[in-house]
Amino acid sequence: MTRWTPWDDEQTRFVAETGEKLLTFAKQIFTRGTVTDVVAWSRLDREHDEFRLHSLYWALVGDGLKFAHQMGMLLAEDEEGGLRGAALDSALSRAFGSRVEMFRWDPHVMAFDFLDRLSSAVGQVAERPDDFEEQSFTFIPDPGYPWPQDPRKPTDGFRYWSTRKSAFVTPERPAWLMPLPDSVSDHASRWGVNPCRVFPPDDSRTDPAGPVMGRLGSQQVMVAHAMQLRTGAGGWHKLLDSAIRGVKDCGGLLFPSLSVGPVPATNFGPIVMVANLELVLNGLRPYRKRGVNPVWVYETDAWTITTGALMGEVAGRLFEELHGHEDYLTGSMWTIGPPPTVFGGPAELSDPIDTTKKLGTSIKQRMRRWKRGMSAQQIEALSEHGPEAKYAYCEAKAREVVSLASFPYLIAPDSLRDPVNMFVSGVGYRGEVIYLPDDLDVGSHQDIGREAELWEWSWRVADVVQELRPIVEI
């Protein structure tokens, strides 16, 4: 069991004074709002007779996304990001033994390099020797590990010093803490972080009244999330209840896959949620908003991460990061969004698309083979051309929970009216629901695939989308 050690008056004064200087130091170095607090705690690492080693742990608390931008961990075009002030740059360069700009622009320098060198600079900031045997530094988006596993029980006397509050603080169990499934947890940790709480929806991403169909040259493009309300041994009511609960608990769709092309991806289900084009365009040049990249877009169908993995393996990784694990500051931090390396397509060939020009070229190449009115045999023959010809659209993967407000329309076959109405009512969907006659019987497809009926259904849905709002030039 970890032994948390109390501080004497002299150590407490040292922590309070040093914390104030570190907080001032951090606020001067980083852009506004990056660092909001400096916290400290110590523990008894080993004890043999009268020998004790007290380690002092410091953590900068704040916005992990801003921190990553400023440390060069994200490819950002925000000229206002980065470290501030030429005089501070010069002073810090002397303390670190190298120019601070390298931490922003050099792709081989990671955030932990900065914090490793920060420990040597603290002596200059504090202007006095350390009162502890050893110190370590990290950056965490939320302070206070360990939290009580049971909110009714204490934390075995653990407290941390909050510079912002100028007081010792007893940590509370955070709302995002959750137990990991037995299939994921191991002897090291049985706790995870609910990604729905770390990547909440941002309604500013899109305008609900914005365009839903655009034109890339001669090619029309829409963005959609296709789904199926599956039936099973327990009946579709039971499975539908589970789907509704997941969306409600998450506040939207967790990292949904989106098709980007002339038609929706109804091979994944005949129920189509039509998204605003901005949901994807905001992450592509030249329309990219400064500092915003809400989705990854791929040339081919990417084998992207599943909801099960997000609520299991990723939840465990997030826990390591959010509680100040020593390996938190690495090249890929889940707390600032999923790294692109986890989203690979066939043979890892799905490099992200970053411009609308590249998106248009990719879709046009696919549509040379995909024509309306194709037979099942013609569709099946396309598989011989490899994965690049498998679909008539590109795939986008959201990097956060997407609000239902980003989907102004839901289009479904009238044969699924009952389950769709239950879903719409259950999740609180406020968009327009449109039912189309199901003379193709797509609502009865249990094993969804790229069949001729579903391909024709995709075109019928696209026909309706074209009539909903004016088509814009992209």
Q: Which of 124-128, 203-207, 228-232, 309-313 has the highest mean predicted lDDT (pLDDT)?
A: 309-313
**pLDDT tens readout for residues 103-157:** 544 545 555 566 666 655 655 555 554 556 666 666 666 665 666 555 555 555 6
Higher pLDDT, 173 or 107: 173
Higher pLDDT, 2 or 278: 278
Whether residue 468 is predicted with pLDDT greater than 50 in this model: the reply is: yes
| Poorest-pLDDT segment among 250-254, 290-294, 357-361 | 290-294
The pLDDT value given to residue 211: 96
The pLDDT value given to residue 316: 85
The pLDDT value given to residue 273: 98
Whether residue 84 is predicted with pLDDT greater than 50 in this model: the reply is: no
The pLDDT value given to residue 57: 77
The pLDDT value given to residue 77: 38
Higher pLDDT, 91 or 447: 447
Average pLDDT value over all residues in the chain: 77
Whether residue 100 is predicted with pLDDT greater than 60 in this model: the reply is: no
pLDDT (mean) for 306-312: 87
Q: Which residues contact 87 (CB under 8 A, 6 or more apart)?
A: none
pLDDT (mean) for 358-372: 90
